[in-house]
Amino acid sequence: MTTQGESHPIPARADDGPERPQEPGQGGGLGHSQNHGPDWGRASRTGRRPTPLRMAGWAAAVVAVGAIGFVVTLPNPGDWVPGLGPSSKDADRTPPVVGNPPPTSAADPNPFTVDRYFPVARPIDLNGYHAKRSGVRQGSDCAETLQDRTKNVFQSTGCQGYLTVSFSRTPDGKVLSSVTILRFGDDATSQRVADQLNAQPGLLAFMQPDATIAAPSPAADPQHQKPVARTEAVHHYVTVATSRFADGTSGTAATPDQQLLDATWATSYTASDAFVWG
């Protein structure tokens, strides 16, 4: 998939006139010559001489400001902007990551971790849909993502690892989404697996906000819809997004519920966009 953007230069304002020339004696940063004259620096010589006590006070103020700046600029994992510590405060209220990240390789030197691609401090905000990250799983054995591990469709695919993320709609938490990302060795394999998962919906387990695996949706009941899912092949990754209501159902209407469609589209787009340049 390819994303495109447009560059919109900001035009000059109509009331912006030509730049005024600098008056003699004004400005004077590095690279500017100045005619200071014989009285230059007189104010510093004729001003009141600072006392030792005042100088000590100034030094203490400088140290205090420097300490505050160090604390503010100390980066925290998952910060939206590195150095803004408070942006990581939600990390204490989310379940810990279950499992270890897949190892890096020469082909994929960047860490394949949930915190790298889906940090807590970066919630979903797309077309009016809002959701936050909840439970998280990651690992090297892609069979761990299956609802029934006896149906291991990844056995001969060379699947290199997975990330599974749970998203909860905010602020009510009534819609849940489970997003799984699978990594393969090449684009052709990822496309083949995506086609297979599309042909057999429900193969992947649905992860809940507490990182536990949910029971299968009551899709066998003809009165219930199957969970709304979307599968995409993005380079050598496959993203699978599935949404259902917090009570475990997916609605009873003849067509999928619009709330679930919105949730699945937003989470699928977020997952695919994270790997579109990979």
Give the DSSP per-residue string, 119-171: -TT--EEETTEEEEEEEEEEES-GGGGBSSTTS-TTTTTT--EEEEEEEEETT
Over pLDDT 90: what percentage of the chain?
42
How is residue 165 written in tokens?
């993320």
Residue 111: pLDDT over 70: yes
Residues 219 and 153: their CA atoms lie apart, in Å, by 21
Residue 4: pLDDT over 90: no
Contact 267, 179 (CB under 8 A): yes
Residue 27: pLDDT over 60: no
The per-residue pLDDT for 159 is 94
Where does the pLDDT of residue 228 fall: very low under 50, low under 70, confident under 90, or very high at 90 and above?
A: confident
| pTM across the whole model | 0.65
Where does the pLDDT of residue 101 fall: very low under 50, low under 70, confident under 90, or very high at 90 and above?
A: confident
The per-residue pLDDT for 270 is 94
